[in-house]
Amino acid sequence: MTGIALDQRVFVGDQLQPGRNDYPAIELGMTTFEVRAWNDTAALLRATLVPFNPMRALLRDCPLIARVSIPKRFGSLTHRSVHMATRTLQVAALATSALVMIGLAGCAGGSSTSTDGAKINIIAPSNAPSDAGFQAVTDAFNASQSEVQATFTPVTDYETTRAAQLSANSVDVFVCFPRQAQGFTDEESTEDMLMAEAGQFVDLTDQPFMDNYIQSVLASPRSTMDGKVYAVPTGLSYATGVYYNEKIFDDLGLAIPTTWDEFIAAMDAITAAGITPFGFGGKDGFPAALPLYGILGSLYPEDADKQALLEGLWDGSVDLTTGKPLEAMERLQTIYDNTSDASPGSSIVETIGAFANGEFAMMFDGSWDQKSVTDVVGGKFDFGMFPLPGGDKADQNRSLNGKIELQLCASSTSANQDAAIEWLEFFSQPENYTTFVKASGFAPAQPDIVTDDPFLDSISQYASDFRLFWESIVVAPQAIAPEAKVGFEYNLLSPLGTNTPAEAAAAAEAAWDAVR
Amino acid sequence: MTNATALFPFRRRGALRITFYGAWIPILFFLFVPAVITFVLSFTDIRRTPRLPWAWVGFDNYTDFFNAGRLTSSLTVIQNTLVYAGLTVLVGCGLSLGIALLLNKPLKGRTFGRAVVFMPTILGVTVIGLIWSIIFSVYGPIQGLLGWFGTRSNFFGDPKIAFYLVIFVVIWGSLGTTTIIFLAGLQAIPAELYEVAAIDGASPRQAFRHITWPLLAPTFTTNLLLSVIGGLQGYSMIYVLMGTGRPYTETLGMAVFSAGFGSGTTTQGFAAAVAMIQFVLVGVIAMVVLSVLRRREVKL
Amino acid sequence: MSVAQRAMGTIRRRTRVTQVGSYVLLVLLILSFVLPLFYLVNTSLKSFQEYSINPNGLVQDPQWANFPAAWEKGKFGTYFLNTLLYTFAGAGGVTLLSMLIGFPLGRGYISRPRIWYGVLASFLFLPSAIVAQYQLLIAMGLYNTRIGYIVILAIGVGIGPLLVAGFSQSVPREIDEAAAMDGASYGRYLWTFALPLMKPALATVFLLSAVAIWNDIILGTILFADPGLWPVATGLNAFKGVNTTDWPLLAAATIIVAIPLIALYVFVQRYLVNAVVGAIKG
User: Domain spans of chain B?
Assistant: 61-295
Whether residue A156 has pLDDT greater than 70: yes
Helix (H) or strand (E) holding B153, with range, is none
Fold of the domain spanning B61-295? MetI-like fold (1.10.3720)
Closest chain C CA to residue B173: C33
Which band of pLDDT confidence, cut at 50, 70 and 90, is reported for residue C158?
confident
Determine the average pLDDT of the residues in B134-163. Answer: 85
Q: Name the CA radius of gyration of chain B, rounded.
A: 24
CB contact, 8 Å: B219 with chain A? yes
Query: CA triplet C89, C93, C99: central angle to 5 degrees?
Result: 145
Q: Give SS3 for A176.
A: strand
CB-nearest partner of A353 from C52, C175, C223: C52
State what percent of residues in chain B have pLDDT above 90: 28
Closest CA to A407 of A221, A136, A155, A174: A174
Beta-carbon separation of B118 and C265 below 8 A: yes
**pLDDT at res. C129:** 87
For residue range A337-360, list pLDDT tens digits in order.
999 988 888 888 889 988 998 999
Return the higher-pLDDT residue of B15 and C277. B15
Closest chain A CA to residue B202: A38
Beta-carbon separation of C127 and B35 below 8 A: yes
Return the higher-pLDDT residue of C131 and A66. C131
Query: Of A267-281, A303-317, B101-115, which range is least confident?
Result: B101-115
Whether residue C154 has pLDDT greater than 90: yes
**pLDDT at res. B280:** 92
Shortest CA gap B69–chain C (Å): 25
Distance set, CA B76 to CA A193, B252, C4, C125, C190 (Å): 32, 10, 62, 22, 51
Cβ neighbors of C153 (< 8 A, separation 6 or more) are C86, C89, C90, C93, C94, C213, C216, C219
Closest CA to A164 of A109, A415, A155, A104: A155
Mean pLDDT of chain A, nearest integer = 81
Beta-carbon separation of B12 and C186 below 8 A: yes
Beta-carbon separation of C225 and A64 below 8 A: no
Whether residue C1 has pLDDT greater than 70: no
Return the higher-pLDDT residue of C1 and A458. A458
Single-letter code of the amino acid located at A355? F
**Which residues on C lie below 8 Å from B258 (Cβ)?**
none
Beta-carbon separation of A71 and C197 below 8 A: yes
**pLDDT at res. A43:** 54
Beta-strand (E) ranges in A71-128?
118-125
Which band of pLDDT confidence, cut at 50, 70 and 90, is reported for residue A415?
confident
Which band of pLDDT confidence, cut at 50, 70 and 90, is reported for residue C85?
very high
Asked if A133 and A122 count as a contact pair (C-beta separation under 8 A), the reply is: no
Which band of pLDDT confidence, cut at 50, 70 and 90, is reported for residue B168?
very high
CB-nearest partner of B67 from A162, A198, A514: A514
**Which residues on B lie below 8 Å from C218 (Cβ)?**
235-236, 239, 257
Whether residue B247 has pLDDT greater than 80: no
Determine the average pLDDT of the residues in B39-49. Answer: 90
Superfamily the domain C76-235 falls into: MetI-like (1.10.3720.10)
- B168: exposed, middle or buried (Cβ count in 10 Å: 0-12, 13-18, 19+): middle
**pLDDT at res. C9:** 66
Closest chain B CA to residue A346: B138
Whether residue A184 has pLDDT greater than 80: no
**pLDDT at res. A85:** 43
Closest CA to B92 of B218, B226, B292, B187: B226
DSSP designation for A443: B
Query: CA triplet A61, B232, C235: central angle to 5 degrees?
Result: 80
- B264: exposed, middle or buried (Cβ count in 10 Å: 0-12, 13-18, 19+): middle
**pLDDT at res. C169:** 82
Distance set, CA A31 to CA A12, A51, B219, C273 (Å): 9, 21, 31, 38
Determine the average pLDDT of the residues in A389-412. Answer: 92
Q: Cite the residue boundaries of each domain of chain C with CATH code 1.10.3720.10.
A: 76-235
Shortest CA gap B244–chain C (Å): 12
Among A42-56, A440-454, C182-196, C202-216, which range has the highest average pLDDT?
A: A440-454
How many B×C Cβ pairs under 8 Å?
Answer: 254
Whether residue A381 has pLDDT greater than 90: yes
Shortest CA gap C257–chain B (Å): 8
> Buried b / exposed e across A316-346, counting CB within 10 Å, b at 16+?
eebebbeebbbbbbbbbbebbebbbebbbbb
**pLDDT at res. A483:** 82
Closest chain A CA to residue C49: A376
**pLDDT at res. A79:** 42
Whether residue A64 has pLDDT greater than 50: no
Asked if B47 and B265 count as a contact pair (C-beta separation under 8 A), the reply is: no
**Which residues on B lie below 8 Å from A57 (Cβ)?**
184-185, 188, 219
User: What is the four-CA torsion angle of A154, A243, A386, A369, rounded to 10 degrees?
Assistant: 10
Which band of pLDDT confidence, cut at 50, 70 and 90, is reported for residue B34?
very high
Which band of pLDDT confidence, cut at 50, 70 and 90, is reported for residue A12?
low
Return the higher-pLDDT residue of A10 and A394. A394
Whether residue A83 has pLDDT greater than 80: no
For residue range B231-241, list pLDDT tens digits in order.
888 899 998 89
Determine the average pLDDT of the residues in B111-129. Answer: 88
CB contact, 8 Å: A282 with chain B? yes
Beta-carbon separation of B152 and A341 below 8 A: yes
Query: CA triplet A221, A226, A227: central angle to 5 degrees?
Result: 75
Shortest CA gap C266–chain B (Å): 8
**Which residues on A lie below 8 Å from B200 (Cβ)?**
37-38, 41
Report the distance separating Cα C184 and Cα C176, nearest Å.
9
Single-letter code of the amino acid located at A419? A
Which band of pLDDT confidence, cut at 50, 70 and 90, is reported for residue C63?
confident
**pLDDT at res. B228:** 87
DSSP designation for C64: T
Among A321-325, B3-7, C47-51, C172-176, which range has the highest average pLDDT?
A: A321-325
Determine the average pLDDT of the residues in A387-395. Answer: 92
Return the higher-pLDDT residue of B34 and B207. B34
Closest chain B CA to residue C116: B24
CB contact, 8 Å: B158 with chain A? yes
CB-nearest partner of B53 from A198, A345, A512: A198
Determine the average pLDDT of the residues in B95-110. Answer: 88
**pLDDT at res. B293:** 73
**pLDDT at res. A39:** 58
Phi, psi (rounded to 5 degrees) for C29: -60, -50
Among A29-38, A52-61, A506-515, B8-17, which range has the highest average pLDDT?
A: A506-515
CB-nearest partner of B52 from A51, A198, A282: A198
Whether residue B95 has pLDDT greater than 90: yes
Which band of pLDDT confidence, cut at 50, 70 and 90, is reported for residue A479?
confident
Q: Does the N-terminal peptide bond of residue A495 adopt cis geometry, omega within 30 degrees of 0?
A: yes
Report the distance separating Cα B154 and Cα A466, nearest Å.
37
The Cα diameter of chain C in Å comes to: 86
Whether residue B140 has pLDDT greater than 80: yes
Single-letter code of the amino acid located at B15? A
Single-letter code of the amino acid located at A180? Q
Determine the average pLDDT of the residues in A301-326. Answer: 91
**pLDDT at res. A54:** 45
**Which residues on C lie below 8 Å from B121 (Cβ)?**
211
Phi, psi (rounded to 5 degrees) for B71: -60, -45
Which band of pLDDT confidence, cut at 50, 70 and 90, is reported for residue C14?
low
Q: Give the number of C-alpha atoms closer than 13 A to the C-alpha of residue B136, restricted to the C-beta side.
A: 24
Determine the average pLDDT of the residues in C273-277. Answer: 47
| Helix (H) and strand (E) counts in chain C | 15, 0
The Cα diameter of chain A in Å comes to: 116
Return the higher-pLDDT residue of C24 and C125. C24
CB contact, 8 Å: B196 with chain A? yes
Query: Of A29-33, A327-331, A491-495, which range is least confident?
Result: A29-33
Which band of pLDDT confidence, cut at 50, 70 and 90, is reported for residue A24?
low
